[in-house]
Amino acid sequence: MTNRTMYDSVNLHGIPRPLPAHSIVAYYLDGHYAVASVAEVQTMFPTARLNPIDVNGSRANFARTLDVEPFDVNPSDCEQWLTEFKATNPGYKLGARGVIYSSVDTLPAIRTGTGPYILGRDYFIWPATGDGTIVTPEFLRIKFPHFGWPDGCVVACQNLWHRTYDSSVVLNDAFLP
């Protein structure tokens, strides 16, 4: 298992710096908390890998993650986003697959909303708890036994919500290496 951390915030200045080696910074491409430019994020975090987030379903051509939360994208929109990701995102041809971020309780609706796409092959999940719990496929098999939760399907878990930023434990070494 990896020892990397992914950081995100509605205000990138709230993320502590300097970041540990091999960190990932997730940022919003659209919506209320969209960054002014990708260059701004690259300048602020020159050594971090970057995870662009699409909150309204319009940036499958560039984002790596889709934000499925109230007031953002609905679980029923996931199949369309994954289809657009596959067709338009340059990273797809290089092996990148879409990531869907959500609360743990939304995961069953996402599994239904992704239609024919296969978790762990066509897309991955980034669940959030905020209470320190780290969601793994084993955790999901117990909580939602009627769905298949393949090993490696969880790329990260947003397990801690700090005052000015959130942090996620990265669970998949292949995620933004």
Mean pLDDT rounded to a whole number for the chain:
96
Domains: count for the chain:
1
In a domain, 176, yes or no: no
Residue 34 has pLDDT above 50, yes or no: yes
In a domain, 13, yes or no: yes
- The model's pLDDT over 157-173, given as tens digits with 9 standing for 90+, comes to 999 999 999 999 999 98
pTM for the model? 0.96
In a domain, 61, yes or no: yes
Structural domain harbouring 57: 5-170
In a domain, 161, yes or no: yes
In a domain, 34, yes or no: yes
- The model's pLDDT over 89-129, given as tens digits with 9 standing for 90+, comes to 999 999 999 999 999 999 999 999 999 999 999 999 999 99
- Beta-carbon neighbour count of residue 18 at 10 Å? 10
Q: Which CATH number belongs to the domain containing residue 67 in this structure?
A: 3.20.20
In a domain, 175, yes or no: no
pLDDT bin (cut points 50, 70, 90) of residue 2 is low
pLDDT bin (cut points 50, 70, 90) of residue 31 is very high
Residue 176 has pLDDT above 80, yes or no: yes
